[in-house]
């Protein structure tokens, strides 16, 4: 297959959240993301959607948020409404089935100051280091921090220096 024929682009990552209003407040208050879409819909809209128990009928609220780029880097949020999803087995370690969201910010100190006030947790405070950041895949000087959102989703956050 010639190069480019099967190229893809990641439009968004979608997270399951316990409380949509809390999740929106976190991603808006910490990262300045704005709501692009906010819809409540039946789970049956995607018949093969493997969520919750088999044969589930019910509704979900789906929200997409975006930052300064109008086309890429969106985040989707889904709250299953009736009944809520069961709690996953707790673990504080990342492994198979987990994701790490990497976000770039223009103001790492402000993000760090806001995370806990919006219900997240700082795992590693802002630290000068390096992160992948240029078009050629090279490391660049950056302020890097690690955190979780209110639902425990792992976040790697950096600000290019």
For residues 84-111, average pLDDT: 82
The whole-number average pLDDT for the span 68-80 is: 84
Highest mean pLDDT among 20-29, 64-73, 79-88, 104-113: 20-29
- Cα–Cα distance between 13 and 67 in angstroms, integer? 13
Domain 100-160, classified CATH 3.40.30.10, yes or no: no
Residues 73-89: what's their mean pLDDT?
83
pLDDT at site 128: 95
- Domain segments of the chain: what residues? 12-80, 100-160
Q: What is the pTM of this model?
A: 0.86
Q: Which token pair is 2?
A: 């010639």
User: pLDDT (tens digit, 9 = 90+) per residue, 2-61?
Assistant: 556 767 777 788 999 999 999 999 999 999 999 999 999 888 777 777 776 665 667 889
Q: Is the pLDDT of residue 1 over 60?
A: no
- How many angstroms separate the CA atoms of 139 and 115, rounded? 25
**How much of the chain, in percent, has pLDDT values that exceed 90?**
51
Instruction: Give the residue-averaged pLDDT of 74-95.
Output: 80
Q: What is the mean pLDDT of the chain?
A: 86
HEC letters along 23-44: HHHHHHHHHCCEEEEEEEEEHH
The pLDDT value recorded for residue 132 is 79
Topology alike, domains 12-80 and 100-160:
yes
Query: Which helix or strand (DSSP H or E) is residue 108 part of?
Result: helix 108-115
- Helix axis angle, 108-115 to 20-31, nearest 10°: 150
Q: What's domain 12-80's architecture?
A: Roll (3.10)
């Amino acid at each position: 297959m010639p190069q480019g024929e099967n190229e893809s682009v990641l439009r968004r990552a979608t997270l399951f959240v316990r409380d949509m209003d809390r999740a929106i407040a976190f991603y808006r208050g910490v990262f300045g993301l704005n709501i692009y879409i906010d819809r409540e819909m039946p789970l049956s809209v995607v018949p093969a959607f493997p969520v919750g128990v088999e044969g589930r009928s019910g509704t979900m609220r789906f929200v997409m948020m975006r930052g300064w780029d109008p086309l890429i880097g969106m985040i989707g949020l889904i709250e299953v409404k009736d009944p809520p999803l069961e709690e996953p087995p707790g673990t504080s370690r990342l492994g198979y089935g987990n994701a790490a969201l990497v976000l770039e910010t223009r103001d790492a100190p402000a993000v760090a100051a806001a995370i806990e006030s919006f219900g997240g947790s700082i795992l590693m405070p802002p630290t000068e280091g390096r992160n992948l950041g240029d078009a050629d895949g090279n490391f660049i000087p950056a302020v890097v921090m690690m955190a979780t959102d209110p639902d425990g989703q792992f976040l790697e956050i950096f600000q290019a220096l």
